[in-house]
Amino acid sequence: MTAPRPDRAASPALSHAAPIIVAEGVQKHFGTFHALRGVSMSVRPGEVVVVIGPSGSGKSTFIRTINALDPHDGGSITVDGIPLQGAKNLDAIRREVGMVFQSFNLFPHLTVLENITLAPTRVRKASRAEAEARGLELLRRVGIEEQAHKYPAQLSGGQQQRVAIARALAMDPKIMLFDEPTSALDPEMIKEVLDVMKELARTGMTMIVVTHEMGFAREVADRLLFFDQGNIVEDTTPDEFYEHPKHERAKQFLSKIL
């Protein structure tokens, strides 16, 4: 076992706090297809968890069940003490959880700043001035304040993804979920997005990140989950996983991506 990263090891919250996400025996079917087969895991506040695994193993489905984009149909999920049951606590949970997708999903007819202020003004009832000030601050944080009044199509992929991160942060989530956030980007843009995510991790954000970026995993993640056929088959540290994968599927997978 490798030692925890020094900056996080120093955090008492990480080692002692109760989990902020608890999944127990989560099941998900799409018709007759059994996509999640009893997934159990928990994440403590401030933890950064990387999820990897073969295509179709259930990574996206699992993180989508955490903010109820896909309802699960067995087992239980609790987010910040709120049980996810049908439609009941949906809004409360979605307020706690921000999500960033591979394909950015920005609104093309809105400027960068409007993309960011839309939810805070509509859902949180923030004033326009308040939401814009906060939006500009977030754009500064992701390094693209000067793009505030452009439209998404005028930005590079890396810039669009940084807008998507700022947009999610504008709702002040306690947890951020990332589903292959750099997979659609040209290589030279991957780093600028990973750097924003590293900075977010450094501030103590709880993060679950589906990514095959090994450098990011080893530098930033506290834990790594390897999915195979709808279940977690390894839950370990990134260093341990890359150096000593235990499961045969993990060894095969690594031999293909490395």
Residues that bind Mg ion (CB under 5 A): 59-60
Closer CB to ligand ADP, residue 60 or residue 159?
Answer: 60
Q: Which of 26, 39, 50, 60 is in the footprint of ligand ADP by CB under 6 A?
A: 60
- Residues in the interface with ligand ADP (CB under 6 A) total 11
Q: What is the distance between the alpha carbons of residues 105 and 118, in angstroms, rounded to a whole number?
A: 14
Closer CB to Mg ion, residue 59 or residue 162?
Answer: 59
Please give the angle made by the CA atoms of 18, 89 and 128, to the nearest 5 degrees: 100
- Does 56 contact ligand ADP by CB under 6 A? yes
Q: What is the distance between the alpha carbons of residues 2 and 17, in angstroms, rounded to a whole number?
A: 21
Minimum distance, C-beta of residue 101 to Mg ion, in the bound complex (Å): 10
- Does 58 contact ligand ADP by CB under 6 A? yes
- Does 72 contact ligand ADP by CB under 6 A? no
- Does 211 contact ligand ADP by CB under 6 A? no
Q: What is the distance between the alpha carbons of residues 158 and 191, in angstroms, rounded to a whole number?
A: 9
HSE-CB at 236 with a 13 A cutoff on CA atoms is 17
- Does 66 contact ligand ADP by CB under 6 A? no
Closer CB to ligand ADP, residue 70 or residue 130?
Answer: 70
- Does 57 contact ligand ADP by CB under 6 A? yes
Sign for the CA dihedral angle at 214, 217, 223, 225 comes to negative
Number of H helices, E strands in the chain: 11, 10
Could you identify the residue written with the tokens 């998900």?
28
Q: What is the distance between the alpha carbons of residues 149 and 94, in angstroms, rounded to a whole number?
A: 27
Question: Interface mask (CB under 6 A) for ligand ADP, residues 20-39, using x and -?
Answer: ----------x--x-x----
Asked whether 193 and 185 are in contact (CB, 8 A), the reply is yes
Closest C-alpha to 99, from 194, 171, 47, 153: 171
Closer CB to ligand ADP, residue 39 or residue 221?
Answer: 39
56 binds, among ligand ADP, Mg ion, none (CB under 5 to 8 A by kind): ligand ADP
Minimum distance, C-beta of residue 56 to Mg ion, in the bound complex (Å): 8
Minimum distance, C-beta of residue 211 to ligand ADP, in the bound complex (Å): 11
Q: What is the distance between the alpha carbons of residues 234 and 154, in angstroms, rounded to a whole number?
A: 41
* Interacting residues toward ligand ADP by CB under 6 A: 30, 33, 35, 53, 55-61
